[in-house]
Amino acid sequence: MKLWVLRHGEAHNQAPTDAERELTGAGRAEVLRSASHLQGVALDAIYASPYVRAQQTARLVHDALGHPEPIRTVPWLTPDQSPNAVITQLQAMKLENVLLVSHQPLVSALLGVLDNHEHPMGTASLAELDGDWPLAGLMTLASLRHA
């Protein structure tokens, strides 16, 4: 399995709720730079948090790649979710190449559980993990790119 984990791009600080924060212009540019690293990757699916900034990030990547499938919006990618809950969902998918678009602290925590190392994830950071199965400690970080 190949798993890509993308943190949303830079977002505005002001919004009625955290879930409603939108990407800034700089955040959109960051996301497009990260999306360029996915060119030629045959993704089976793009999963994204329902928060606006993650949805905007996923849409930019989806469109840049010309991905044929719709974005799958899931509640288990919000900032306060547990990495183990995400791993449970990944195990149920049985897909080979998946992109997750989410938030801190979940993205760093998820990488830490999957490969047993802490990894800083700035806005629009893109991590690539390899492994036979998405199990705690059994995936390897192949690359980590910061926008």
Q: What is the pLDDT of residues 1-35, one digit of tens each?
A: 899 999 999 999 999 999 999 999 999 999 999 99
**Cα–Cα distance between 58 and 73 in angstroms, integer?**
10
Predicted local confidence at residue 124, as pLDDT: 98
All structural domains of the chain, each given as residue ranges with its CATH number in brackets, are 2-145 (3.40.50.1240)
| Continuous segment of H or E residues that includes residue 98 | strand 97-102
Virtual CA dihedral for 69, 27, 75, 114, nearest 10 degrees? 90
Predicted local confidence at residue 2, as pLDDT: 94
Mean pLDDT of 43-54: 98
Structure tokens at 12: 């505005």
Query: Comparing 117 with 23, which gets the higher pLDDT?
Result: 23
Find out whether 55 and 24 touch, Cβ atoms under 8 Å: no
